[in-house]
Amino acid sequence: MVQKLNEIGAQVSAAGLQLAYHNFGYDFNTYGNKTGMDWVLEETDSDLVKIEVDFYWVMHAGVISPRALIEKAPGRFPLWHIKDMDKLSRDYTELGNGSIDYTKVLPNAKTAGLERYYIEQGGNFAENSMQSVSQSASYFKKHIQGLI
């Protein structure tokens, strides 16, 4: 996969764009003596392959903190997905309803190379999609935005 990412990254770069790999929980499974994410970070060209880091999946995997992940490859994480994890089901939930305390785990944006962030949630709304967006945005503005 890392070879393919490098090849695709080169093609995307030649077209004037930037490839960013989005992680999931399985990227933190161990293969040999390192995780899939270690392979991606160590074996892809940092100019061709950036990371669209999904902090929910980092926390869901439970093998590394968001801060420690960013410290492995400073500058490679221009895109952040910020979403919360339900305390019981471990599924997505509105920011502030779950178990991820971003005030404690959020990495340094400058170290990461942050350019854009996304507040994200799946279709499992506490009430409805509009209420979910409102609640997550309000929580983000009050507790997280000033940390970025």
Helices 36-43 and 2-14, axial angle in degrees (round to 10): 50
Reading the block at residue 95, the tokens are: 């920011």
**Using one digit for the tens of pLDDT, what is the confidence trace for 51-90?**
999 999 999 999 999 999 999 999 999 999 999 999 999 9
β pairing state of 30-31 and 19-22: unpaired
Q: Residue 143: in which H helix or E strand, if any?
A: none
Going from N- to C-terminal start, the domains of the chain cover 2-147
The predicted pLDDT at position 123 comes to 77
Residue 16: what residue type? G
Q: What integer best gives the mean pLDDT of the chain?
A: 95
CATH number for the domain whose boundaries are 2-147? 3.20.20.150
Q: What is the pLDDT of residue 120?
A: 86
Instruction: Quote the pTM value.
Output: 0.93
56: left (phi over 0), alpha (psi -120 to 50) or beta: alpha
The whole-number average pLDDT for the span 17-26 is 97
